[in-house]
């Protein structure tokens, strides 16, 4: 397990000035996910980024930036914040910052600052993501969480996604 000074780790709601940083983190995230989705970049080498754009431009969506000191190390995109059903649409931590508890800290920060019913999907074959989100759900909701499988819309070539759902117990700080 990697060791970092956790006091240097921050999770903040992104602002428009953060967009170039988050576009670079998004490219790393989509590259990681392409192992499961078989997605390819376009002719100029960019992956689709509708979810990132929505995080900045769509009511009820929000982008979070994770930093460790001066290093930009991750992001989360959430939607449904204007409803009772919140969804973690995307979540990413660079490889060098993983396995140190930072991802768990970031996920709990985002969840606890937006109370309600939460869901997150991950690819069935992404075993590390499955273990991570089950751990998050257990830390946030104890045994009161569920897991279901749902087909990926428009992608009959992929196995169903796993969805973990839970309700926050803490109020926003």
> How do the domains of the chain map onto residue ranges?
6-167
CATH class of 6-167: alpha beta
pLDDT of residue 173: 44
Q: Which residues of the chain have pLDDT under 70?
A: 1-3, 36-38, 169-173
pTM over 0.85: yes
Q: Are 18 and 77 in contact (CB under 8 A)?
A: no
pLDDT of residue 2: 60
pLDDT of residue 38: 67
pLDDT of residue 172: 43
d(CA 141, CA 138): 5
pLDDT of residue 23: 94
Q: Are 167 and 141 in contact (CB under 8 A)?
A: yes
pLDDT of residue 33: 75
């Amino acid at each position: 397990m990697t060791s970092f000074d956790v006091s240097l780790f921050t999770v903040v709601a992104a602002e428009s000035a953060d967009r170039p940083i988050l576009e670079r983190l998004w490219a790393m995230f989509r590259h990681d996910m392409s192992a499961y989705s078989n997605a390819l970049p376009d002719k100029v080498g960019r992956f689709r980024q509708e979810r990132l754009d929505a995080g900045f431009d769509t009511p009820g969506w929000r982008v979070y930036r994770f930093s460790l000191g001066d290093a930009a190390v991750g992001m989360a995109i959430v939607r449904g914040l204007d409803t009772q059903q919140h969804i973690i649409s995307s979540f990413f931590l660079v490889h060098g910052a993983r396995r140190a508890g930072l991802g768990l800290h970031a996920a709990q920060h985002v969840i606890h600052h937006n109370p309600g019913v939460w869901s997150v999907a991950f690819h069935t074959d992404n075993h590390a993501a499955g273990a991570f989100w089950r751990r998050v759900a257990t830390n946030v909701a104890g045994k009161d969480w569920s897991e279901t499988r749902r087909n990926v819309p428009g992608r009959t070539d992929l196995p169903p996604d796993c969805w973990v759902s839970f309700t926050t117990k803490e109020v926003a700080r």
